[in-house]
Amino acid sequence: MIKLFDTHTHYDDRAYNNDRDELISRLLSENVAGFIAVGCTLERSRKAVALAKKYENVYAAVGIHPQDVNNLPPDYLKTLEKLTESAKVKALGEIGLEYFRTYDKKQQNKIFLEQLELAQSLNLPVIIHSREAFPDTFEILREYTKKGMRFVCHCFSEDGEAAKKLADLGVYISFTGAIAFEKKTERAIDACKNVPDELLLLETDCPYLAPPPFRGKRCDSGMAWYTAQKIAQIKNKTIDETVEMCNNNAARFFEIN
Ligand SMILES: [Zn+2]
Ligand SMILES: [Zn+2]
């Protein structure tokens, strides 16, 4: 039986405080191959690495989310770099620009660029969080892809044209359960169609964004199978073919065997 690799999770969230280990063990024994535990702050990056060390086929990304760029200690880059010394850390992230809820664009851009320089020096791929910030994000990715860096735009919510522009740069694009939300369907389908097969990734961003029929409930990696089902329809493939394709893409992007 094929299992699904979830490229973006937040199992350190308090939503899992009552059953974290039980849930993860069950998922890994069922239809989940593994996942990337993604950091948002220094503390949560540390937790992501700890989780990755605990389980086989679980890996980590470390980074400062654009909503958490204020009040960072001056040596935060050193702390991140130190965390990447674990062989289980496969990417920097999630980092980027978030213009939806906060407007400290200057600070966000500064911290984003500092982390991109770190990722480049460490030769690590980067998980991008970009919301309501596509023009700025695109310009930055255009510069850094020229330098040979690898990116995935996670929780993709832009339109088909944006997907095509990113795909032309070789940027991977990852969809959550939101691709199956009723209101967003048309735009998301159009975006998904414009992503070449070899650049497509699957994620949950759990505990958020549970796909239908679980919408509003706590999400977990097993639910990414419903996202795969939606993408399979769009791409005219079987669900297993879709999962296998996305697993292979994830293995290539994160350099996981
Ligand atoms: Zn995000
Ligand atoms: Zn996330």
Distance 148 CA to ligand 1 centre (A): 23
Question: Which carries the bigger pLDDT value, residue 180 or residue 251?
Answer: 251
Beta strand extents in 65-149 (DSSP E only): 89-98, 126-131
Give the CA dihedral 173, 38, 68, 20, nearest 10 degrees: 130
Question: Nearest ligand to the C-alpha of residue 203?
Answer: 2
Distance 251 CA to ligand 1 centre (A): 20
**pLDDT value at residue 180:** 81
Distance 197 CA to ligand 2 centre (A): 23
- Which tens digits make up the pLDDT trace of 126-167? 999 999 999 999 999 999 999 999 999 999 999 999 999 999
**pLDDT value at residue 77:** 98
Phi, psi of 50 (to 5 degrees): -60, -40
Distance CA 71, CA 54 (A): 30
Question: Nearest ligand to the C-alpha of residue 101?
Answer: 1
Given a cut of 70, is residue 103 above it in pLDDT?
A: no
Q: Is 163 exposed, middle or buried (0-12, 13-18, 19+ CB in 10 A)?
A: buried
Distance 110 CA to ligand 2 centre (A): 20
- Which tens digits make up the pLDDT trace of 158-189? 999 999 999 999 999 999 998 888 676 788 89
**pLDDT value at residue 114:** 98
Distance 22 CA to ligand 1 centre (A): 25
CATH of the domain at 115: 3.20.20.140
pLDDT grade for 215, boundaries at 50, 70 and 90: confident
Determine the average pLDDT of the residues in 56-79. Answer: 97
* Total domain count, the chain: 1
| Domain of residue 43, residue span | 4-254
Give the CA dihedral 12, 208, 253, 3, nearest 10 degrees: 90
- Which tens digits make up the pLDDT trace of 30-47? 999 999 999 999 999 999
Phi, psi of 7 (to 5 degrees): -85, 0
For residue 176, give the amino acid letter. T
Distance 155 CA to ligand 1 centre (A): 6
pTM, two decimals, is 0.97
pLDDT grade for 2, boundaries at 50, 70 and 90: very high
Determine the average pLDDT of the residues in 188-215. Answer: 94
**pLDDT value at residue 185:** 78
**pLDDT value at residue 181:** 81
Distance 10 CA to ligand 2 centre (A): 7
Determine the average pLDDT of the residues in 180-206. Answer: 91
